[in-house]
Amino acid sequence: MAQRILHEDPTIQIAYDYTHDWLYVDWIGDQNFDSVKTGCLRMLDFLQQERCTKVLNDNRRVTSLWSDASEWGGKVWFPMMATAGLEYFAWVYSPNHYSRLSTDLMVEHTMRPLVITFDNIDTAKAWLGQM
């Protein structure tokens, strides 16, 4: 998998995957409203910069509840991403129960783009690769 790291900090790593033409986003550790909003806006910038239409959003390393950002993400950020060209968003769940609930809340608030959640990263990659 040929990737170029676009951004890295203690809570998130964003890379562009040349092989699959998508952003790969790896969220790390405890998240809160500020870290989610900051990471999401960085993702928006890189989506526009790389002109891609797909995101593989990996929450396997997220360790906390971040539901206070769910409504903002679904109602504000996802529409911005769709306007910027995002069509398909594969979201890999965290094993953390509270993080999973936060993900489900954000997806509930989302009208577009198409967001599909997965328990397994290989299944997420396979689905996203077919889109």
The string of DSSP letters for 19-35 reads: TTTEEEEEEEE---HHH
Domain span at 106: 3-130
* 33/48 Cα distance (integer angstroms): 23
Q: What is the mean pLDDT of residues 20-33?
A: 97
Read off the CATH number of the domain in which 54 is found: 3.40.50.10600
Q: How many domains does the chain have?
A: 1
pLDDT: which is higher, 92 or 113:
92
In this predicted structure, what is the pLDDT of residue 1?
62
Q: What is the mean pLDDT of residues 109-123?
A: 93
Q: What is the pairing mode between strands 12-17 and 3-9?
A: antiparallel
